[in-house]
Structures are given as C-alpha cells and as structure tokens.
Amino acid sequence: MRILFPDPLRERIILGGNMMTQITKRNPNKFLKDEFDELVRNHLEWNIHVLESGSQPHSIVDGKEVIMLCSNNYLNLSNHPRLIKGAIDAAKKYGAGSGSVRGIAGTLKIHTEVEKRLAKFKRTESSLIYQTGFAANSGLIPQLVGEGDIVISDELNHGSIIDGVRLTKADRAIFKHRDMSDLERVLKDADKKYRRILIITDGVFSMDGDIAPMDKIVKLANEFGAMTYVDDAHGEGVIGEDGRGIGAHFHIEGKIDVEMGTFSKAFGVVGGLIAGSQDLVNFAYNKSRTWLLSGSHPPAVSGAQLAAIDVLETEPEHVKRLWDNTKYFKKELNSLGFNTGGSETPITPVIVGDAGKAKQLSNKLFDEGVFALPIVFPMVARDKARIRTMMNAGLTNKDLDFALDKFERLGKQLSII
C-alpha cells in the first residue's frame, strides 16, 4: 500500500504492515506540470494552431481552409517566387548553415550584401542584421544606456523592448501613450539628472495600429540631447514610400538614431535589423551579446532577405495592394457599423467590447472560414476587447467580401452591430 501525503517534500511510504518511513528528496520537475495545469485551469495556455499550408492568404489551419487575417505576412512576400528562389540559390551556393557566430567565422558575403542593400533601402548610412527582432532589442538596448542614464518609454511599448530595458542598469520612466506633453515633462525632469537619455517607442503599435509621432519625438529629443530608438517591426515594409518604414513615413530618414525592425513581418522572412549611422553599427556589433553569441542566419534566410529588398524596390504593387485592401476593408467594416478604433495602418481592430463576445466572434469566424484572433484584457482595456485583423496584400476583393459577409452576419447574430 502506498499512501501519498499532500506535503510535496515529504512522502511517507507505508509498506505491508510494517511502517517504514522514507523521506524522499524534492521532486525537481513537479512544478512543470503544476504550473501548466494552473494555466489550463485559468484558460491562459496557448492553443497552438498548426498550418498545413504555408502562411498564405488562404491557409489550411488545423485542417480547415481559412482566410488569413492574423499573420504578419502583410505583403504576402513569404510566398513570392523571387524570395523562394533567392533562398534556394543561396542555399545551393553557400550551404544549409553558416558554421559560426558572425564575430568568428560566420559572416558570409551574403550577410554583408543584405546589410549594404538594406542601408540603401532605408536611406541610412549603415545597417546591421540580428538573428531576430527580439535579439536586436534585448542585445542593443542594454548597451546604449547604463548606470546614471535613463530610458524614456511609451507606456504601450512591445514586450521585447521592455525586456531589453530590464537588462539595463539605467533608470526608466514612462510617458503616456503618444502624449508629447507628457514626454516633454519627463525629458525636462531627466535633463537635470542624467548622463544619457534614450527615448524608445514602437513605430506602429501592434494592438491599435496607431503610429508614434516620430517627427515630434525627434524634435523633442534634439531639444534635450536625447537619443531616439524606434521599434518599427509593424511599419517596416508597410508605411513610408515603398514600405521604407517610419523614417520615410515622416520624411526624416537618417534622423532617427536607431531604426530597428524585422524581416519576419512584411518582408516575409525572419531576422532583426537596425539602421542608422556607421558609428551605431560599429558600436552595436561589438557590444550586443545576442549578436555576438548566437549563430548567424543560414544562407537561405539571407538569400530570401535580399530578394525581399529587391521586390520592394522593383515591385511597388504589393505595398499598394496592401493599402488598397486595408482602406476597402476598414471602410466596409465601418459602414457595417463596426468600431475600428483609431488605426492608421493595416492592423484593423474590430472593437467588440465584451471579452466573451470577442472570443465567441473569433470562434464563429473560424468555423465560417475566417482566421482572426481575439485580443482581450489585459492586452487592451476591459471594455475594449476586440478581434485584431491584419491585412494581407495577397487577398482578393472576393476574399475580403467573403470575410466582410461573415463579420456582418456574425456581428448581427451577436448583437455587436
């Protein structure tokens, strides 16, 4: 007979009629299951959806064909023949892997080509590719500031910025979302007390699809001698002339000290990037631990990145198509009576209000062949639960009408419109 006692550290084992007490050591893995079970109990676990197709405008998700409205593949470049060919050609030429970290023997010619082409595209002096966007933020931010410095951050900044900031010894101050008078107040206070000041913001905010007023931020930063850093992950390939990003959007190319972005969204590949001065790049690759300590991109990745820049420079129709789709979809949603908030980008929230309703709408949309996920508190305010849709340039008018029809019918069914 074995009786288990609830005490996790001590477990008495009673054998036969003779009582033998044995004190076992702690179970080192017990928390894994306990904590996962707790997440499941609170409905907080991630339900992973599996795509049997690639990330396409019509994807096969968990065995069902759906219209994709929640990928970051804004321009549908991940399926572009030139990118696929770029990947294959680079793999054929350079092999499957890079062999090392960039710092030692893992910098291939194709890596440097991407960086040159990217700087040209971004109209900056130089650029540097990181393994991921997260690696760029968490590797570079802690090097830009240290003890005696301050990071000033928009209150709605993305998690990877927050993690980067957590790694610094610098003080941190928050300003109200896109509120320039609040930023100015913090700057005034910081000006007296700190050695270096770094202002950090998302370019396009991923929950509401609004854009940071980068022109005003740069102006304020210049007044106070502060450095500017923008995470343009959702703006790269989307806003600005031919998708050149937030610098081009505000016509301040080269004036933002650090333009950080990613190849994993509109560019359709993977990889983080920074663009700015040569001084910035020299500093960044010598100091970013994430860059120095992880293997460099496989050649196929770089080949596809290079092709993505080619496509953006020579085929403006993708960005145009993305925006045409966005404008049409937003306009139609609004005329159906949906509240789409203050979005200025292809991220269009459909604000439902109640969290339960948002989840219900998302489930029903999926059943009807539209894939868009709900965003609920605490990611957004309690009464602002929503379906977040992200437009794709590969969707046709027929696809959009199909999706709009589902939104209309289910919106009425759930008394949202």
Partner 1 sequence: MSVKIGFIVNPIAGMGGRVGLKGTDDVVDKAVKLGAHPVARLKAEEMLREFSVFSVNHHNVIWITCDGDMGNNELETVGIKNKQVVYSPTGNTTSANDTKNACKKFLESPPDLLVFCGGDGTARDIFTIIDKKIPLLGIPAGVKMHSGVFGITTNATAKMLQEFINKQLTVGDAEIMDLDEELYRKGEWKVRLYGIAKGIIEPTYIQVGKSCFESVSDDEVKDEIAEHVNDELEKHKDWMFLFCTGGTIDSIAQKLNIEHTLLGIDAVYQKKLLAKDVNEEQILQLLKKYPKTKILLSPIGAQGFILGRGNLQLSPTVINKIGIENIIVVATPSKLIHTPILRVDTGDKRLDHRFANQGYLMVVIGYRLSRVVKLQTNSF
Q: Which two tokens stand for residue 105?
A: 């023997």
Instruction: Establish if 252 lies at the interface with partner 1 (CB under 8 A).
Output: no
Q: Which of 111, 122, 158, 234 is catalytic?
A: 234
Q: Report CA dihedral (307, 309, 314, 315) to the nearest 10 degrees.
A: 80
Is 265 part of the annotated catalytic residue set? Answer: yes
Which of the residues 39 through 78 are near partner 1 (CB under 8 A)?
Answer: 44, 46
Is 43 part of the annotated catalytic residue set? Answer: no
Q: Which of 206, 288, 343, 362 is catalytic?
A: 206
- 59, β-bridge pairs: 66
Residues 6+ positions from 18 with CB-CB distance below 8 Å = none
Residue from the set 375, 395, 410, 416 that interacts with partner 1 by CB under 8 A: 375
Instruction: Establish if 159 lies at the interface with partner 1 (CB under 8 A).
Output: yes
Instruction: Establish if 378 lies at the interface with partner 1 (CB under 8 A).
Output: yes
In this complex, which beta carbon is closest to partner 1, that of residue 169 or of residue 409? 169
Q: Which two tokens stand for residue 187?
A: 């700057």
Is 55 part of the annotated catalytic residue set? Answer: no
d(CA 270, CA 225): 34
Site string for partner 1, 184-223 (x = CB under 8 A): -xx--x----------------------------------
Residue from the set 292, 336, 379, 414 that interacts with partner 1 by CB under 8 A: 379
Residue from the set 89, 113, 125, 182 that interacts with partner 1 by CB under 8 A: 182
- The structure tokens 């710092």 sit at 103
In this complex, which beta carbon is closest to partner 1, that of residue 162 or of residue 292? 162
Query: Are 118 and 129 within 8 A, CB to CB?
Result: yes
Q: Which two tokens stand for residue 182?
A: 């609040």
Which of the residues 160 through 179 are near partner 1 (CB under 8 A)?
Answer: 162, 169-175
Q: Which two tokens stand for residue 235?
A: 């703006």
Minimum gap (Å) between residue 199 Cβ and partner 1:
14
- How many residues are listed for the chain in this entry? 417
Minimum gap (Å) between residue 5 Cβ and partner 1:
27
Minimum gap (Å) between residue 169 Cβ and partner 1:
8
In this complex, which beta carbon is closest to partner 1, that of residue 49 or of residue 82? 49
Minimum gap (Å) between residue 391 Cβ and partner 1:
18
Query: Are 175 and 186 within 8 A, CB to CB?
Result: yes
Size, binding site for partner 1 by CB under 8 A: 22
In this complex, which beta carbon is closest to partner 1, that of residue 25 or of residue 43? 43
Minimum gap (Å) between residue 56 Cβ and partner 1:
22
Strand order in the sheet with 373-375: 347-353, 385-390, 373-375
Which of the residues 380 through 399 are near partner 1 (CB under 8 A)?
Answer: 382
Q: Which residues are catalytic?
A: 206, 234, 265
> Which residues contribute to the site for partner 1 (CB under 8 A)?
44, 46, 155, 158-159, 162, 169-175, 182, 185-186, 189, 375, 377-379, 382
